[in-house]
Structure 1
Amino acid sequence: MKLLAGLALAVFVVVAGGVAAILSGAFNVAATNPDSSMTTWILHTTMQRSVAVRSSAIVAPESFTEAQVQAGSNEFRAMCAGCHGAPGRMRSAAGKGLRPRAPDLAVVANNWTNANLFWIIKNGIKMTGMPAFGPTHDDQTLWNIVAFVRQLPNMTADQYQRFADEGRAAGNEHEH
């Protein structure tokens, strides 16, 4: 009986401490305040595992056509480059102010499968500034973005500019 009482007291103290921390405003939610390394690890690991589990049933294309890559470049330029940056392009002012910072996809794209990238683009990531594009864009458009993101790790600034120029010349500007 003493063991149960002690366990109940411990649970109560933990819950009460958590509620007190939430209600006190002790946790600084300002985007200008960096998270601790422990908080960063917890959030990033949770996100990685969540994406892996939720994208595991998605059947992803093994390769993409040049047309898909070009179409994806138009969408990427309009919807992604501001926050993530692009070869030879800085992030927008809004992108620079995000915390956590949107990852440089040229650096991290190879850490994700095509299915992972599709799921992230379609569903977004809570509390990161990454919006869900699934409600506003069809799956083919989202796969086109994945096709383009796959090219980023090896893309130069000149190649990125060529994609932009070709998209504009073909009249393929992003629109809703």
Structure 2
Amino acid sequence: MTLYFEEEGEGRLPLECESFARQIIEDTLNYIGCPYEAEVSLLLTTNEQIHEMNREFRGIDRPTDVLSFPMVQYPVPGEFAFLEETQDCFHPESGELLLGDIVISKEKVLEQAAAYGHSVRREYAFLIIHSVLHLIGYDHMEDEERQIMEAKQREILEHLQIMR
């Protein structure tokens, strides 16, 4: 797996962000049954920067915890068979599946970990899992979709033994 990792702004999370993110992304994709090696970009940023991105890309004028920018639209979440029909979603040199980009607010990780009474490690893992599920077609706009996505998030966190 290729992970393009970048961190901007002041402050750091109290964990090894890049290696832990790589582990969580790989474990999530393995759990889901992704049959391909994948490429993901992850940016850790500030509330100010994610606020600007949220306003620009989603029309929502406030900071958020995580943004996901999938490269492929999945007709069925987490089902990869349709990808064999096109090569557009694979890196031409590495052959890796181009999943997309994840942007996480470091400040929101810290705030939400404190608010929910769990570790920064757990919150960071949760946001990465949440975003990876978005990158492979899961969503939570409709109630049924939300229930499916939330159940999948819980399953993966339990499988990885990352508890509250």
Whether these two folds match at TM > 0.5 is no
Q: TM-score, normalised to structure 1's length? A: 0.30
Q: TM-score, normalised to structure 2's length? A: 0.32
Higher Cα Rg, which structure: 1
Of Structure 1 and Structure 2, the greater strand share is in: 2
